[in-house]
Amino acid sequence: MDLVRHLRYFTVVAEELHFGNAAIRLGMAQPPLSQRIRRLEEELGVRLFDRSSRQVRLTEPGRLLLDEAREIIARVDRLRDLAGRGESEVLRVGVPPDLGSSVIAALIAGFRERSPEVRPAPAEMWSADQVLALLDGTLDVGVVRHPVTAPGLSFGPVLVQRPGVVLAEDDPLAGLSSVHLADLAGRRLVLFPREPGLHEETLAECRRQGFVPEEVHEAQTLGLVLAGTAVAFGPQVALPGLRWRPLLGSPLAWRISTAWRGQAGEAAVAFGAVAVRVLKENAGMTDDGAAPERRVRTRPASGFLA
């Protein structure tokens, strides 16, 4: 068996704690993924996941092996990177993990087509980590969410994403065609980790519209949403057990752009152009400024000194 590849499957399932989500991220069907995890368990002689309950959980041995597995994968990646260097120029690219595998695949494919002489080395990283990596030179170009405050970074054209809300399918709001932010009052919220600027802006807008989440969880996956204990914002998803609904009035505007440090190299410029096209065509993003101004429609009963 290809142990490294199986360990890769294991880390993705461990991150998602959901075989369906992990399969989508890996671009494969769920049954072969389950089968490969079982084979890995046989190979190692331990059970990695507890699948007895409705939720998938890491077992204690699974938890212990996860860090080791990540270490092995990182080393193998580095080995391949080192081996590949000298053959061709490498562009180290950061992308937010939530963009989804199909968008990330389109980014890479588009870049390969445009700059076949450069090998892209993509890494899924949240904006805060990308900014650090750009500043210390371990990343050549990133795709970051705004607002970002980092002196020395330059940004490509800003695109806007209008997220909707992801709900558990049995949430009463899932019966509506669109959901207003105020309808979410009393619910908990899942936001991406390591996106501080985005958090602050999103929570301020929620508050302005009457939604103050009881709790804000930072999580990479939609497990809490699936369990019915929280809602999340994001692009349209079609996953069993979940419903996506547009937000009435499109109140949230998530801005995204490429970012680099200092003078952008030729490859980074090429990647930026591909990113703008792919994010527009494959992720439904639009040019900044296309966002309509929000208007407060005042009512007598809630007006000044009513």
Partner 1 sequence: MTDLEALFRTAGVTGFLHAVDVDTGAEIAHRADDPVVTASVFKVALLVEFFRQIDRGRLDATERVTVMADRHTAGPTGVSVMADDVTISLRDLAYLMMAVSDNTAADTLIGRVGLPEINAMLASFGLAGTWVEHDCRDMFSSIVEDVGQEEMPTDPALIARLRVLDPARTNRSTPREMTRLLGMIWRDEAASPASCAAMRRLLGLQVWPHRLAAGFPYDDVAVSGKTGTLPTVRNEVGVVEYPDGGRYAVAVFTRSYGTAQNQPRADAVIGTAARAAVERLRD
Can you state the percent helix, strand and coil of the chain, rounding each to 5? 45, 20, 35
The residue among 28, 30, 39, 48 whose CA lies nearest residue 2 is 39
By the rule CB under 8 A, 306 interacts with partner 1: yes
Task: Tell me which stretch binds partner 1 (CB under 8 A): 73-81, 204-212, 256-264, 265-273.
Answer: 204-212
Among 182, 218, 236, 287, binds partner 1 (CB under 8 A): 182
Q: Tokens for 143, please give them.
A: 């795709």
Total interface residues for partner 1 by CB under 8 A: 21
By the rule CB under 8 A, 215 interacts with partner 1: no
- Do 294 and 205 touch, CB atoms closer than 8 A? no
Among 212, 236, 266, 287, binds partner 1 (CB under 8 A): 212
CA dihedral 137→159→102→85, nearest 10 degrees, is -20
Stated as kind and residue range, the H or E segment containing 122 is strand 118-124
By the rule CB under 8 A, 86 interacts with partner 1: no
Q: Which residues of 285-305 are buried (b: 16+ CB within 10 A; e: fewer)?
A: beeeeeeeeeeeeeeeeeeee
Task: Tell me which stretch binds partner 1 (CB under 8 A): 37-45, 79-87, 115-123, 200-208.
Answer: 200-208
Task: Tell me which stretch binds partner 1 (CB under 8 A): 4-12, 205-213, 260-268, 274-282.
Answer: 205-213
Among 208, 266, 281, 290, binds partner 1 (CB under 8 A): 208
By the rule CB under 8 A, 54 interacts with partner 1: no
Interface residues with partner 1 (CB under 8 A)? 182, 185-186, 204, 206-212, 296, 298-306
